[in-house]
Each structure stands twice: as structure tokens, then as C-alpha cells.
Chain A
Amino acid sequence: MKPAPFTYHRAGSLAEAAEMAATLDNARLLSGGQSLMAMMNLRYVAVDHLIDLNPVAEIAGIAIDGGRVTLGAMTRQRAVLESDALAACCPILREALGFVGHVQTRNRGTVGGSLAHLDPAAELPGMAALLDAEITLTSRGGARTVAMADYPQGYMTPDIVDGEILTSVAFDLWPEGHGWDFREFAQRHGDFAMAGVGSLIALDADGRIGRAAVILIGVGDGPLRLRDVEDILTDEAPSGALFAAAAAMAAARPMSADALVTEAYRQHLSRVLVRRSLTRACARATEAAHA
């Protein structure tokens, strides 16, 4: 099916895009198009104006500076996956990006588009939640920053108001030698996860878990940060029993059900994935400590 008719606008700069976003009625921003064009082709979405951000080079790129990483909204998913500099200081990103769709969709799909679309099973919002990222939104009136913790307002509903453009996402790096793991379960490689988990672990000088961050994706309205699980891990020595207890706690919360997957199955997947993920993340942190 063809999308319903619309007028296409090429934004030459961020200022021009912001002006268009502020003035055109029933308009949408177009980034990679890997979600939006599909929805328009299916006529879930009909717009009068499409504002193409692809020429806006000033909001693309990866910057690593003073322990902080900033990803421009128009950075392609493939660029994040292939960045050796990012993989060196934040290796979980490469592991997670390998699960975002397929090579053809990553060639076009962007960081900002994924964060704005906010699919509950999407890996990039999960990473933003895991890394305590801050999201910058720019409009004709100026810019504001939102903490990822406050950004999802409900199912596929980000804290973005009309006329705002997501321009970047930024986060602080974890200490060198931290352990990481991302894994998920999907019907086919590259499809949306029925459940996915990301974990980061930093060990203290005594080999105990000094800091932990764990997220689930694909099980609720948005990325789910597991603060209670992080609390029971912190200050403990890594062990199989600890990981099993953490996994049971993660799986005890209510989860979504759909035509393919029941709530009980999602909880089961979450328990298995969290246990395996923590085991691997801790093993990697231990390995780094002994290296």
C-alpha cells in the first residue's frame, strides 16, 4: 500500500527543521524511516507534511569526551555498532546494537528515531535507561534536557511535545574494567525481543559488586530499570545463588502479554535471561580485574 499523500520537506539545518516543526500542521519528523515509513505504508499514520532530518548533519555523530558520550540523533544505528571507540569504552552498545533489526534497517535507522519511537522492545531506549542517559530536545524556543528515567510517559509515548526535535542523547561512561552483557530472545534474529536484558557490573577492590545496573526490554510499556534487583546485588560477592535470587526478583513483576507470548512465558524468559546476563557480566568484570 502507498502512504496517504503528504508534502515532503527537506530540512537543511536544525534551525530550519525547528521552524518547520513549529509551523507546519499535522507534520512528522522523518529520520531513518524504518518505523515511520512502515506505519505510513500501512496507513496507521497519515500526515500532511513530512520533515526530513536526514540532511541535518549537525545532529549526527559520536563524541566521547571526558568520560561522557554524546550521540547525535541522526547517528545511524550502524555507526554506533561499528564504532571501535565506543566499543572500547562502552562495549555493551555494540552487543545490543547487533540485535537492532537487520543490516539494511541499521544502515538507515537512527539513534534519535529509535528513542522517539520508543518501542518497548527496542534496544536503544533500553541502553539509554541502563546508562542513565539524558535526552536533549530542541525546538524553535530553545533546548531542554530530560533524564531518561522521566522520558517514557507510557506505551510508545515519549516526553516530546509538538515542535520539539530530539537532537542528542548523552551519558557518563562506566569505569574501565566494568562487566557487561546484553542478550534477548526473539522469534528470528533481528526481530523485536519477546524479552531482553542488559546488565552492567562494576566490582569493588574486594571483588564484591560495587555498582550494578539492570534493565529489561520487551516486557512492559517501556524499558524497565530494575532498581530493586540492583539493590540486592550491591555490596555482595558474585555467586550463582545471588544471581538466581536477582533473577527471581526480576521475574516476579507484572509483565505484558500479547498474541504470541503470555505473561508467564515473559516472566520465565526474564528469569533465565537475567540470571545468564548477570553471570556473564560478572565474569567479564572479574576477568578484567585479573587481566
Chain B
Amino acid sequence: MPDALPRRRITLTVNGKEHSAETEDRYSLADFLRHGLGLTGTHLGCEHGVCGACTVLVNGEAVRGCLMLAVQAEGCRVTTIEGLADDDGALSPLQQAFMDNHGLQCGFCTPGILTTLTAYLRDHPNADEPEIREALSGNICRCTGYDTIVRAALAAARTIREGAKA
């Protein structure tokens, strides 16, 4: 094993802001966001791709933050839970719907669920309940039993559709 662990500097855009920082080669994107950039909203549950808590958007698409290396995000555009609200703090329609419909209890799974659904509803604003349940199949929530999450997602889809019409 080498004396110094392999590291390199990466440059990427996170929530609209460019960052240049050092990372170990073996760091996951999720670890880098948390420990390198202090963005601790991205949660790590299982670290092997099953629970979905670490989900972030890379170039707009939902990916497992625990299964992508930080060094692979060089030049990428990353959105985390911290980037979903407006700059002035106004919640996204999805975040608001989660508040209104009690879409969370402890909130551990919520960042991954919100990032997943942000991309999904953008691409499928007419999604029905079975489709939303399938889209959520890669995110485990231990608390809510999913019904309120699905209700929140359907409510957000309505808001997004109405916003698109207005």
C-alpha cells in the first residue's frame, strides 16, 4: 500500500456553486459532499446501494451517492437536498407537499426521496400512484409506511402541472 493515500483535486458544481477541493480516490461522492463540502443533508444508510438515502442528482439524474466516486464527478453538476429550495429559502413544490402531507417522520430517508422524486416528476409530471410507487422502489423509509409519501408526491405532481399550465 502506498504511504500516502491516493488523492486528487476535483472541480464540480454543487447546487449551482463551483467547488474545487481535494478528495481521496476512494471517497464516495456522498462522503465528499458531507465531509469535503460540509453538505450533510445527503445521508448514508447502507453504503451498498440498497436504501437510497444517499441519492443525489448528477447532471440532473438521480444516482446513488454511495456507489459513485467523488473523482468521477469531475466537471459534473450535482444537486443535493440543500439545493432544492430557492435561494430565498422558498421550498420546492415537492418539499412543500411533503410538509403539508406529513411525508416524513424522522427524515433520514427524505433527502434521497426528494431528490429521486424531483427528477422523476420533472420527467413524468402525469405520473399516477402505481408509477410513483415504482419510482420510490429504490428508497427505503423505515417510518412512514409510504402512504403519506405517495400522497405528497401526487400532490406535488398536481402543483407542478398547474404551475406549468399557469
Question: How does the 8 Å CB contact mask read for B95-127 relative to A, with 1 for contact and 0 for none?
Answer: 000000000000000000000100110000000
List the B side residues contacting A37 at CB < 8 Å.
28, 49, 66-69
Of residues 85 through 130 on chain A, the ones whose CB sits less than 8 Å from some CB of chain B are 101-105, 107-108
B11-19, B56-64, B80-88, B150-158 - interface stretch: B56-64
Q: A37-B67, A38-B67, A108-B64 are in contact. Are A103 and B26 (CB under 8 A)?
A: no
Complex contact A105–B1 (CB within 8 A): no
A3-11, A174-182, A210-218 - interface stretch: A3-11
Is residue B162 within 8 Å, beta carbon to beta carbon, of the partner chain? no
The size class of the interface chain A forms with chain B is 20 to 34
The B interface is mostly helix, strand or loop, or mixed, namely: mixed
Alpha-carbon distance A52/B69, docked complex (angstroms)? 10
Q: A37-B69, A104-B138 are in contact. Are A5 and B25 (CB under 8 A)?
A: yes
Alpha-carbon distance A8/B49, docked complex (angstroms)? 20
Complex contact B120–A33 (CB within 8 A): no
List the A side residues contacting B71 at CB < 8 Å.
8, 10
Alpha-carbon distance A38/B68, docked complex (angstroms)? 10
Alpha-carbon distance A8/B68, docked complex (angstroms)? 12
Least CB separation from B48: chain A residue: A38
Complex contact B6–A103 (CB within 8 A): no
Interface of A toward B, CB cutoff 8 Å = 1-8, 10, 30, 33-34, 37-38, 41-42, 50, 52, 54, 101-105, 107-108, 188-190
Given A1-B47, A5-B2, A107-B63; 9 other pairs, CB 8 A cutoff = A2-B26, A5-B6, A7-B2, A33-B67, A37-B66, A50-B25, A54-B72, A105-B67, A190-B137
A-B contact pairs, 20 of them (CB 8 A): A2-B31, A5-B25, A8-B6, A8-B8, A8-B69, A33-B67, A37-B66, A37-B69, A38-B48, A41-B67, A42-B48, A50-B69, A102-B138, A102-B139, A103-B62, A103-B119, A103-B120, A103-B135, A104-B62, A105-B67
